[in-house]
Amino acid sequence: MGQRMGFGHRPALLIIDFQNAFADENFFGGYNIGDAMANTERLLQTCRQTQTPVAHVRFATSNDGSDIGPFGMKVPRLKDLVDGDPAADIVAALTPLKNEFVSTKRHGSAFFGTNLHTWLTSKGVDTLLISGCATSGCVRASTVDASAYGYRPMVVVDCVGDRAQAPHESNLFDMGQKYADLVSLEEVQAYLAG
């Protein structure tokens, strides 16, 4: 376990759930999510400068939370993330550009119920640079699915965050053993520059 895959030839950046609710410690924020957002802002700038495709996927419910199923039973506060409510919006510092992919999900994985895979395929992507929150939830679910779809998941350690340290670290370890390479922001920037 834990062998390195290395970067491929056609990367894309995936930003997961960096929304106002996750920037707020009284909502879903905590531990290192703020730092991960700030580092993702730097990574996003690099991707835009190098014309690397960028995908933003956020969580929201369409109305009363009935469309998120058992996820809303486990985490009732998710029902507060309603389309059109500022809490569900992507944080201002990471506002998508018109040429960037934007999708809304109703569950953990950025792939489940979205057309992310279709978009990545249309771009010829083989390597997915993964940022977002929470490391132990939606980042992990998206990483597992990225691997299942045949992408090389690169979890950018400086750019993922969780509400608590223990689940953040244990899930990074596990993803690095089974599904992804764990890479630093500096490694990714050097790769994109090359």
Catalytic residues: 138
Angle value at C-alpha 29, between 113 and 185, nearest 5 degrees: 80
Q: Report d(CA 92, CA 97) in Å as an integer.
A: 11
Helices (H), 53-178: 70-74, 116-122, 140-148, 165-178
Q: Which of 152, 58, 175 is nearest to 114 (CA)?
A: 58
Angle value at C-alpha 15, between 98 and 148, nearest 5 degrees: 115
Asked if residue 171 lies in contact with residue 140, where contact means CB atoms within 8 angstroms, the answer is: yes
Residue bearing tokens 């410690």: 25
